[in-house]
Amino acid sequence: MPKLFIVPTPIGNLEDITLRAIRILKETDLILAEDTRNTGKLLKHYNIETKLFSHHKFNEHKTVKSIAERILNGENIALVTDAGTPSISDPGFLLIRECIRLGIDVECLPGATAFVPALVNSGLPSDNFCFEGFLPHKKGRQTKLQSLVNESRTMIFYESPFRIIKTLEDFSKYFGGERKASVSRELTKVYEETTRGTILQLIDYYKNKSSIKGEIVVIVEGNKE
């Protein structure tokens, strides 16, 4: 029976992909990619010649139904994003929901996602945590932060290098500057870095850093009071 395969891809190091994922990408009729140029590099590395089709947040509302129809008509299709597991702060949810609604089999492979190594590396409690992804840039940002003030679980956030200082300053305002946290960036890559300390210490570190690059995962200690 044809199905939709959700295939995690490396978040940096191209070796971080499972043998099963490589096989699925080779055997499927089509690969849906967030950015065909990025995915093309991965496919070339593993000599995968499966056709690519662009599927991203700007067109997924329009393409979901036609993709589901292709699966119903007998095609096996794999969904990938630029890095990590589809649907985790990346496109994928709408297509998965539509396939489930239509009774199409959906199979998600285990694999890379950025927040797990960042959480483990942080040294903060990892037995009970909440994943918040990207904070709203403007509307709803203060409301979201206020709702997390009393959160007792370890909190996980994604952030860009352009907003990391502002986000840490917001964390200091709402959670307190002495709250423990860690910032991981460039995970699995050559310049991988995890910095740990209080939120105030992390603000000071990044304000004095000449250049900040790479996607970032911020882990914040929960409220212990």
At 73, list the tokens: 């008509």
At 98, list the tokens: 């539509």
3-state DSSP helix/strand/coil percent for the chain, to nearest 5?
A: 35, 20, 45
If one looks up domain 115-220 in CATH, what number appears?
A: 3.30.950.10
Q: Provide the residue ranges of all domains of the chain, joining segments of one domain with +.
A: 3-108, 115-220
Residue 119 CA to residue 137 CA, distance in Å, equals 23
> How confident is the model at residue 12, as a pLDDT?
94
At 106, list the tokens: 């959906």
- Put the strands of the sheet holding 52-54 in their side by side order: 52-54, 30-33, 77-79, 3-6, 105-108
* pLDDT per residue as tens, the chain (225 positions): 899 999 999 999 999 999 999 999 999 999 999 999 999 999 999 999 999 999 998 988 899 999 999 999 999 999 999 999 999 988 999 999 999 999 999 999 999 999 999 999 999 999 999 999 999 988 999 999 999 999 999 999 999 999 999 999 999 999 999 999 999 999 999 999 999 999 999 999 999 998 899 999 999 999 998
Apex CA 138: angle with CA 134 and CA 142, to 5°? 80
* Total-model pTM: 0.91
Residue 125 CA to residue 168 CA, distance in Å, equals 20
Report domain 3-108's class.
alpha beta
